[in-house]
Amino acid sequence: MTCLGCNLANKEIAVNVVFENDEVCCILDHNPYNEGHVLILPKKHFRYLDELDENTACSVMQAGQIITRAIKKLFDPDGITICQNGGTFDELTHFHMHVVPRYEGQNFADFYMEGEEAPIDEQKLDETRRKMIEVINKLV
């Protein structure tokens, strides 16, 4: 059985990478809650947070800091939510962490609502990717 998360993290499927190192790959969510919504995925297969080795866990957190700084600089959100869904709530069957810019008045419960996905705007994702890479390159 092929793991979708492994395929995404190792770029075996087309993804919009904004940052990566030897342990993790950070990509734009293909159907973002807000512009700048990023997924942090380990390149090695792990299903749950408590399975991460120390090096990967540190890389996930360091990437989270870098992505958070870039989101703050680019999008000036009112806040940032970082979350991880495990077990039956993990549609990738691969550990991943969401970093989501948030704004006043948004009901974050909508993030978890099942429903029809909006059409993917590839041009907007590419524009966001370029902006984030530019800022991240200045930060690291």
Joined tokens for residue 27: 């990509």
Q: Which of 22, 19, 27, 12 is nearest to 53 (CA)?
A: 22
Q: Are 70 and 133 in contact (CB under 8 A)?
A: no
CATH code assigned to 4-104? 3.30.428.10
Q: Are 132 and 18 in contact (CB under 8 A)?
A: yes
- Digit-by-digit pLDDT tens for the chain (140 residues) are 589 999 999 999 999 999 999 999 999 998 898 999 999 999 999 999 999 999 999 999 999 999 999 999 999 999 999 999 877 777 778 999 999 999 998 876 766 555 566 677 889 999 999 999 999 999 98
Structural domain spans, the chain: 4-104
Pairing of strands 17-20, 24-28: antiparallel
pTM for this predicted structure: 0.89
